């Protein structure tokens, strides 16, 4: 007789944990830079449409499958759709393993920037210092890279080993409100800056002549990544919901929070960029991937009101956001070993954590420290193990997983099964079951198929 399944202690706990999973480096690091690369406005609009038309229905589908079966992805899909579909769950577990291995490394950088900024805030920001050079040194230093990677994964393992209610929920209940608070403070500071008006114009004024087909597909791919969809993270979190918690309202809240945070973070960053003279050109030429870790620190000390206080706080925010996401990634892998292999939570966490650490350390050395790993190139001309794994997950694993999940929710499961799961006393009045079914059967799978086919035939890069 297996031990009783751990559950969220409250609806608020689930929403914070799921929003914590969704809100992460995807919102603070990826979204701003892809928005910049795609010239704002029209891209943001397309992204919002993708979130509403594809992301939201799949979010509901994943949470529904989890709550209905009370199992993690492998067992959930086996029970809901049949033994062959368990393979989709297994793909999800593998995807969690891959994403966590590199995500954890980038998350670790927030610790490094936090320490550096604290030093600068206490002492003085040294004039003439190159933040970019300092960061490159750090990327190429094996001991420092490995240290932050170990620390970040260690923190993630600590939370996951404490379980759902006592570990994950407790952490999210504290970290998420703290994150919202810090972001609000930063937003207030950003809105007083001269560049705020231009930033808002750039983000919210659609200029369709600047939109490229590639941008549409990138927006779609990113909506999976940012909402943690396509690998069963939301099935796993849904499986810890009690039967009387509403799937629809919780999903809507999570999607809304994720979108709000992504847009807010972008307004903050662009306000800074548009305020600083010459910054725009610098961002264009230096590449936009480093916006979060390289472009911002210098700005905090030179242009941002109260920057001395806000800079270290900002990296606390990034660390918190990343931590609640790494927790969910590890939980998917750990839950598989608990549910399907009968391991204890502690043993599963220790085992999965050690395997992930091994791959993670290799990723951390692939940024210049170790030539073999840094030069490694398999996919779409990406250089380095880390970049290749990111490409693999965002362009292949998540869309493929997401596609099969729409088939399960829309085609394998009957309306008689899914309707009562979605329509309960707490379901918002505006929600129409028929609309969800139309989207999950047609709109979402066709859109996802479009990404997969484009990747196959055109070799597009969406990461």
Q: Give the footprint of ligand PHE on this chain (CB under 6 A).
A: 21-22, 24-27, 99, 225-226, 228, 231, 233, 325, 328-329
Q: How far is the CB of 397 from ligand PHE (least distance, A)?
A: 10
Q: How far is the CB of 78 from ligand PHE (least distance, A)?
A: 21
DSSP class per residue in 107-165: HHHHHHHHHHHHHHHHS---TT--HHHHHHHHHT-HHHHHHHHHHHHHHHHHHHHT-II
Nearer Cβ to ligand PHE (58/193): 58
Q: How far is the CB of 242 from ligand PHE (least distance, A)?
A: 22
Nearer Cβ to ligand PHE (189/326): 326
Residues 168 and 397 sit within 8 Å (Cβ to Cβ) = no
Nearer Cβ to ligand PHE (86/332): 332
Q: How far is the CB of 277 from ligand PHE (least distance, A)?
A: 32
Question: 3-state DSSP call for residue 459?
Answer: coil
Q: How far is the CB of 168 from ligand PHE (least distance, A)?
A: 13
Structure token digits, residue 135: 């960061």
- State which residue has the least CB distance to ligand PHE: 26
Question: 3-state DSSP call for residue 425?
Answer: coil
Q: How far is the CB of 326 from ligand PHE (least distance, A)?
A: 8
Q: How far is the CB of 121 from ligand PHE (least distance, A)?
A: 26
Nearer Cβ to ligand PHE (70/226): 226
Task: Kindly state the helix (H) or strand (E) to which residue 188 belongs, with its residue range.
Answer: helix 170-191
Cα gap 363→374, rounded to integer Å: 9
Nearer Cβ to ligand PHE (15/304): 15
Nearer Cβ to ligand PHE (25/51): 25
Nearer Cβ to ligand PHE (15/276): 15
Structure token digits, residue 60: 């509901």
Nearer Cβ to ligand PHE (80/329): 329
Report how far apart, in Å, the C-alpha atoms of 95 and of each of 86, 251, 364, 433, 449 are.
14, 22, 18, 30, 19
What DSSP state is assigned to residue 289? Answer: G
Burial class (CB in 10 A: 0-12, 13-18, 19+), 10: middle
Q: How far is the CB of 276 from ligand PHE (least distance, A)?
A: 26
| Residues 409, 414, 416, 417, CA torsion sign | negative
3-state helix, strand, coil in the chain (%, to 5): 80, 0, 20
């Amino acid at each position: 007789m297996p031990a009783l399944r751990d559950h969220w202690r409250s609806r608020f706990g689930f929403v914070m944990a799921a929003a914590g999973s969704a809100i992460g480096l995807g919102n603070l690091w990826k979204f701003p830079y892809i928005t910049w690369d795609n010239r704002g406005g029209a891209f943001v609009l397309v992204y919002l449409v993708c979130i509403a038309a594809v992301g939201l229905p799949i979010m509901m589908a994943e949470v529904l499958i989890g709550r209905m079966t009370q199992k993690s992805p492998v067992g959930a899909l086996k029970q809901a759709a049949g033994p062959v579909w368990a393979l989709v769950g297994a793909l999800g577990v593998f995807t969690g393993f891959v994403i966590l291995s590199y995500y954890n490394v980038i998350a670790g950088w927030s610790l490094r920037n936090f320490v550096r900024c604290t030093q600068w805030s206490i002492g003085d920001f040294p004039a003439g210092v190159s933040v970019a050079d300092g960061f490159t040194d750090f990327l190429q230093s094996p001991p420092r890279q490995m240290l932050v990677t170990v620390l970040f994964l260690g923190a993630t393992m600590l939370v996951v080993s404490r379980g759902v209610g006592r570990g994950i929920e407790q952490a999210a209940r504290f970290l998420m409100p703290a994150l919202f608070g810090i972001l609000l403070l930063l937003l207030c500071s950003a809105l007083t800056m001269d560049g705020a008006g231009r930033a808002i114009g750039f983000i919210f004024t659609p200029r369709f002549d600047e939109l490229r087909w590639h941008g549409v597909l990138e927006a779609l791919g990113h909506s999976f990544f940012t909402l943690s969809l396509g690998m069963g993270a939301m099935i796993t979190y849904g499986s810890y919901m009690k039967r009387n918690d509403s799937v629809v309202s919780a999903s809507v809240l999570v999607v809304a929070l994720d979108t709000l945070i992504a847009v807010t973070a972008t307004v903050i960053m662009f306000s800074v960029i548009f305020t600083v003279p010459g910054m725009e050109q610098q961002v264009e030429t230096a590449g936009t991937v480093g916006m979060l870790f390289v472009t911002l620190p210098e700005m905090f000390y030179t242009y941002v009101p109260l920057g001395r206080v806000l800079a270290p706080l900002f990296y606390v925010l990034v660390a918190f956001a990343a931590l609640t996401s790494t927790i969910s990634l590890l939980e998917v892998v750990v839950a598989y070993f608990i549910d399907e292999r009968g391991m204890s939570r502690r043993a599963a966490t220790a085992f999965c954590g050690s395997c992930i650490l091994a791959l993670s350390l290799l990723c951390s050395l692939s940024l210049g420290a170790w030539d073999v790993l840094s030069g490694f190139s398999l996919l779409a001309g990406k250089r380095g193990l880390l970049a290749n794994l990111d490409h693999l997950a965002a362009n292949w694993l998540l869309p493929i997983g997401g596609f099969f999940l729409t088939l399960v929710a829309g085609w394998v499961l009957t309306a008689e099964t899914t309707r009562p799961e979605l329509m309960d006393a707490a379901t918002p009045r505006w929600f129409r079951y028929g609309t969800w079914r139309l989207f999950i059967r047609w709109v979402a799978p066709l859109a996802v198929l479009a990404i997969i086919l484009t990747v196959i035939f055109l070799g597009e890069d969406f990461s």
